[in-house]
């Protein structure tokens, strides 16, 4: 980790902020913090310390993502890891979704990832190395919470983009790693900050501590692999779900039965 420069979007709070502190503590050369909220970014940068470099960024704007890349390169001369972590949830079922709901979910959760990939790949291609990490969601693998309908769909699209990118690069650029992270419920303000409001994820008894997720992603940086479930039971659920003769039988029980509202 000592020689790495790591860019983290959505790093003014939640997983991104916690991850910034973890990689700095492990000795990252530079930690580039990106988010829209300047004051919150400054607070996180102060906690991270001398390796931090805060860049106010709107991930829904391609030009803003490209400016983030340029400023990181100007400051540190290199980017080793690009982490697309910015995202937002929604509290609305399929039958209630509006065009604006779906557009919002796709813009912040999918297009922001694409903008990051396309911004940093010329640098990674020139160096023939790098690591692209996207923080997706278990809901992108199994959409078990109907109120997160469009968010689940967006994260499913993210998972497909990342797999397609990995297949695109594997022969030509074997040292450019492409990883997708799939947390479950994490104890952050994700739920209460969702479009149309929603239950606070921090109040859910099964929520994973944010520091635990950050440590898992830091481990992924040090030992890259294609996909990371931040809890082993999530991988077990995916295996059980997709091997079932009829997934409806799995959907009739927990955790599906407890996530209908």
Give the CATH number for residue 70: 3.40.50.720
* pLDDT at residue 258, rounded to an integer: 59
Sheet holding 81-84, edge to edge: 52-56, 30-35, 5-9, 81-84, 130-135, 176-182, 227-229
Average pLDDT over residues 62-73: 98
Give the total number of structural domains in the chain.
1
* pLDDT at residue 261, rounded to an integer: 42
Global pTM exceeds 0.75: yes
* pLDDT at residue 163, rounded to an integer: 98
Write the pLDDT tens digit of every residue in 237-256. 999 999 999 999 999 998 88
Higher pLDDT: 181 or 203? It is 181
Write the pLDDT tens digit of every residue in 117-168. 999 999 999 999 999 999 999 999 999 999 999 999 999 999 999 999 999 9
What is the C-alpha separation between 31 and 28, in angstroms, rounded? 7
* pLDDT at residue 259, rounded to an integer: 53
Band of residue 257 on the pLDDT scale cut at 50, 70, 90: low
* pLDDT at residue 181, rounded to an integer: 98
Average pLDDT over residues 4-31: 97
The one catalytic residue among 115, 151, 229, 241: 151
Active site residue 115: no
51: containing domain: 5-258
* pLDDT at residue 260, rounded to an integer: 44
Write the pLDDT tens digit of every residue in 191-234. 788 888 877 788 777 889 999 999 999 999 999 999 999 999 99
Instruction: Extract long-range pairs of 99-106: CB within 8 Å, 24+ residues apart.
Output: 101/150, 101/195, 101/196, 102/150, 102/153, 104/150, 104/195, 105/150, 105/151, 105/153, 105/154, 105/195, 106/150, 106/154, 106/157
* pLDDT at residue 202, rounded to an integer: 82
């Amino acid at each position: 980790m000592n020689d790495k420069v790591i860019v983290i979007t959505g790093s003014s709070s939640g997983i991104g902020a916690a991850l910034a502190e973890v990689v700095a503590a492990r000795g990252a050369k530079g930690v580039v913090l990106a988010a829209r909220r300047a004051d919150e970014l400054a607070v996180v940068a102060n906690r991270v310390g001398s390796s931090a470099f805060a860049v106010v960024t709107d991930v829904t704007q391609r030009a803003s993502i490209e400016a983030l890349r340029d400023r990181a390169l100007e400051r540190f001369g290199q980017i080793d890891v690009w982490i697309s972590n910015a995202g937002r949830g929604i509290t609305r079922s399929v039958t209630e979704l509006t065009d604006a709901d779906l557009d919002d979910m796709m813009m912040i959760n999918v297009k922001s990832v694409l903008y990051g990939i396309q911004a940093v790949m010329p640098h990674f291609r020139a160096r023939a190395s790098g690591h692209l990490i996207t923080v997706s969601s278990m809901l992108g693998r199994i959409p078990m919470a109907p109120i997160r309908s469009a968010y689940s769909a967006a994260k499913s699209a993210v998972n497909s983009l990342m797999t397609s990118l990995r297949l695109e690069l594997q022969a030509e650029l074997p040292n450019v790693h492409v990883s997708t992270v799939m947390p479950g419920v994490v104890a952050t303000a994700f739920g209460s900050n969702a479009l149309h409001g929603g239950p606070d994820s921090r109040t859910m008894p099964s929520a994973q501590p944010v520091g635990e997720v950050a440590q898992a992603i830091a481990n992924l940086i040090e030992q890259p692999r294609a996909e990371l479930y931040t809890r082993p039971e999530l991988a077990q659920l995916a295996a059980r779900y997709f091997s079932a003769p009829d997934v409806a039988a799995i959907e009739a029980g927990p955790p599906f039965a407890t996530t209908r509202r």
